[in-house]
Structure 1
């Protein structure tokens, strides 16, 4: 009897032990699966978050690069076009006085351009009167020119080449005696006839198609008479827009022809002065053209 009870106990113990081991195995397996699932989810979420951050960083960098790629270029462009030289002009009793200084108030060194250190273009407010003179250096950035300017309002353009400094020619207002404080609107009318005669010398202007942002050729037919050399060339051309703001000084494409090339960046009406020397005198031939 005792032996039978011990056998029963042993079998019960083995069964119990088996149940415990089996239950523990199942529990361990389930725990392992849960840990694996949680870890994978965490890694997935981490990667997605990381990819999202990287994508945002890429987008931010792309945006930043686009901005940095445009704004600095725009700023550089502005910086390059901004003049580092300041010019002031005044008129006193038949004397034009030009003061040229850099931003540190020093007098910059000027290079010679077409035989002159300075070309001074003076145009009346209505763009009718035109003068081209060459002031002389007096020292300390001062240049002077004796010239009797009639009573009027003018726009003056100081055409110079400062050494190692950026410079942009801009209009300077000049009022002589009772010249109007405000410029009246000019009434430029496009020339139908582009043939002009001055001092018995005739010049005819022909052009290629007048459009913006392309090379334009201006050909001046001097009717078989070769102009005399003037400032190292057969002629010079000055162009202003109808507001007298945009200034262009053009030189011939060669030493043997009165042919000039330029570009227009905006449509509008422009006045062109072709300067040619005949019989020791310089004639300025005015033409009004329209750029479409």
Structure 2
């Protein structure tokens, strides 16, 4: 009887132990599965969060690029590194010839900018005469433009966007005819009246405070006449300092308004040309302003 009791107890103990081990195994398995699911969820969340951060960073960077574009889109060539493109300009019998070469003496590839591969700004040294031209590519870094330049001393600005090369627009001296040397100074007078009429079309310039290192808005009132699209915009603005050395090419901040934004890094007198197209003809409106 005693042996039977012991045997019964032993069997019960074994059954109990088996139940405990089995239950623990099931629990461990379930817990492992849960941990795996949680870990996968955490990893997935981490990836999603990282992707979200990267996407936000991409968007922020894209926004910054567009915002910074204000200086390259709306106000080009304000501050750039040393140019890696050498530009030479000469004039022969009514033909302007521009030669471009990179540091390896090869012709640089240019990007289209505002519907043209090149914008050639020519200003007389006294900053009175102004021309905006678009030379054609002839190959091997050569560009030409047929144009009769009156005898004078000029400063030429080759406005281009070379691919993968830094470039800064700088004045190039050009003399047409004899007796016209380098012009070293200008006595510009600040306009007291910022309303100009050309070809019976009137434009008035108003500005925000003309201070240095701050955003300045140039607003051109075209007196109820909307300008025609010109080079992909409602207008263009070129600004030079009184020495004809500091070049700024500004574009509208809006596709619907003749508003332009730029910055001035130095005080002084500047000449502004606002270009607007009316009745199929581009008028260049000159203004002289003072930045304090």
Q: If the TM-score is normalised by the length of the shorter chain, which range does it land in?
A: 0.7 to 0.9
Query: Do the aligned partners of residues 122 and 195 (structure 1) sit closer, same or farther apart at CA in structure 2, a change above 3 Å counting?
Result: same
1:231 matched residue in structure 2: 231
1:200 matched residue in structure 2: 200
| Separation (CA, whole Å) in 1 of partners of 2:80 and 2:151 | 37
CA deviations over 1:204-260 (Å, ceiling 9, x no partner): 000000000000000000000000000000000000000000000000001101000
Secondary structure at 2:98 match in 1:
strand
| Separation (CA, whole Å) in 2 of partners of 1:120 and 1:141 | 15
Greater Rg over alpha carbons, structure = 1
Aligned residue pair count: 214
Contact 1:134 1:145 survives alignment (8 Å): yes
| Separation (CA, whole Å) in 2 of partners of 1:179 and 1:216 | 40
| Separation (CA, whole Å) in 2 of partners of 1:179 and 1:210 | 38
- Give the aligned CA root-mean-square deviation in angstroms: 1.1
Secondary structure at 1:97 match in 2:
strand
How far off its partner does 1:179 sit? 4.6
1:269 matched residue in structure 2: 269
Query: Do the aligned partners of residues 124 and 80 (structure 1) sit closer, same or farther apart at CA in structure 2, a change above 3 Å counting?
Result: closer
1:81 matched residue in structure 2: 81
Contact 2:228 2:234 survives alignment (8 Å): yes
Secondary structure at 1:282 match in 2:
strand
2:101 matched residue in structure 1: 101
2:110 matched residue in structure 1: 110
1:282 matched residue in structure 2: 282
1:28-39 maps to which residues of 2 (within 5 A)? none
2:155 matched residue in structure 1: 155
Secondary structure at 2:264 match in 1:
coil
CA deviations over 1:35-66 (Å, ceiling 9, x no partner): xxxxxxxxxxxxxxxxxxxxxxxxxxxxxxxx
Matched, 1:91 2:91: yes
1:120 matched residue in structure 2: 120
Structure-2-length-normalised TM-score: 0.72
How far off its partner does 1:81 sit? 1.1
Greater RCO, CA 8 A, separation 6+: 2
1:208-247 maps to which residues of 2 (within 5 A)? 208-247=208-247
1:54 matched residue in structure 2: none
Secondary structure at 1:87 match in 2:
strand
| Separation (CA, whole Å) in 1 of partners of 2:182 and 2:145 | 25
2:146 matched residue in structure 1: 146
Secondary structure at 1:233 match in 2:
coil
| Separation (CA, whole Å) in 1 of partners of 2:161 and 2:184 | 31
How far off its partner does 1:186 sit? 1.6
Contact 2:81 2:167 survives alignment (8 Å): yes
| Separation (CA, whole Å) in 1 of partners of 2:179 and 2:260 | 34
The answer for unaligned runs of 5 or more in structure 1 is: 1-78
1:39 matched residue in structure 2: none
Secondary structure at 1:265 match in 2:
coil
How far off its partner does 1:181 sit? 1.7
1:181 matched residue in structure 2: 181
Query: Do the aligned partners of residues 281 and 190 (structure 1) sit closer, same or farther apart at CA in structure 2, a change above 3 Å counting?
Result: same
How far off its partner does 1:185 sit? 2.2
Query: Do the aligned partners of residues 84 and 135 (structure 1) sit closer, same or farther apart at CA in structure 2, a change above 3 Å counting?
Result: same
Secondary structure at 1:81 match in 2:
coil
Contact 1:151 1:179 survives alignment (8 Å): no
1:40-55 maps to which residues of 2 (within 5 A)? none
Query: Do the aligned partners of residues 152 and 93 (structure 1) sit closer, same or farther apart at CA in structure 2, a change above 3 Å counting?
Result: same
Contact 2:184 2:243 survives alignment (8 Å): no
Secondary structure at 1:181 match in 2:
coil
| Separation (CA, whole Å) in 2 of partners of 1:187 and 1:168 | 26
